[in-house]
Amino acid sequence: RELRRGLWFASNENGSYRPYRPKRLKTGPWTSGPFYSALAAQRKADLRRRGSRKPRRMDSDRLRAWVLDSLRRGWSPELIEGRLKAQCAGDPSMRISHECLCQWIYAKPQRALDLRQYLARGRKRRTRKKGRKAKGPRIPMRVPIADRPEAVGSRKGFGHFESDTVVGAAPSRRCMNTQVERRSRRL
C-alpha cells in the first residue's frame, strides 16, 4: 500500500523538477512509468496529515463564550453537556462532551484563565480513575438465601450453620469469622 501511495508520475506539469530536466521528458526507461519516490511519498503523507485533522471543538467563539459563562455560574461539565443538547439541539457546532470539556479546562493554554476553580473539586491535576472494578461475584461459590432449603429455614434439624465474615480496616485487614448453629444458636 505504501508503494502504491508513494508513486511519482513524471510529467511536464510537475513544476518542481522542471529546471533540472530538458524540455522533452521521456529520455530514459526511468521516465516510462510511475516509480516510487521517498521524497514524494513523504510530501504526500505530510499533506494528508495536515488535512486530516478535525477542527478543535472549543475553537468556536460562540461555544467557548457559552461554556465559560456556564462554568462561572457553577455548572458542572456534565450539566453543561446536557444543557447544550437541550438548548441547541439543531446546531451541531454547539455540542461538547463532558470529557472533552474537562480536558480543555485542564489543558495548558487555559491555565492562565484558572477555570478549574469553577469545578466541584478544583484540583491542580485531574485524578486518574481507579483501577477496574472486579467483575462477577465477590464471594466464589456463594449460595443466596433465597435458594436455602425449607428444612434449614424452619430450624427443626440440627447441623445447619450460618457464617458471617467481618474484615477490619487497613493496614492490618484482620478478619473475624462467626459461625452460628441455627437450631441451638451456639456461636
Summarised one tens digit per residue, pLDDT across range 136-182 is 667 777 778 888 888 887 888 888 888 888 888 888 889 999 999 98
Q: Is residue 176 classed as helix, strand or coil in its secondary structure?
A: strand
Final residue of a domain: which of 80, 103, 118? 118
Number of domains in the chain: 2
Q: Is residue 108 classed as helix, strand or coil in its secondary structure?
A: helix
> Which helix or strand (DSSP H or E) is residue 7 part of?
strand 7-8
Q: What percent of the chain has pLDDT over 70?
A: 79
Range from 13-22, 39-48, 83-92, 170-179 carrying the lowest mean pLDDT: 13-22
Quick one: 46 and 97 in the same domain? no
Which residue from 81, 109, 107, 113 is spatially nearest to 96, judged by alpha carbons? Answer: 81
82 part of a folded domain: yes
Structural domain that includes position 107 = 57-118
93 part of a folded domain: yes
Q: Is residue 56 classed as helix, strand or coil in its secondary structure?
A: coil
Enter the C-alpha cell of residue 73.
455560574
- pLDDT tens across 35-49, in order? 787 888 888 888 888
Final residue of a domain: which of 14, 29, 52? 52
Confidence class of residue 79 from pLDDT cuts 50, 70 and 90? very high
94 part of a folded domain: yes
- Asked if residue 20 has pLDDT above 70, the reply is no
pLDDT at 29: 56
What is the residue type of 68? L
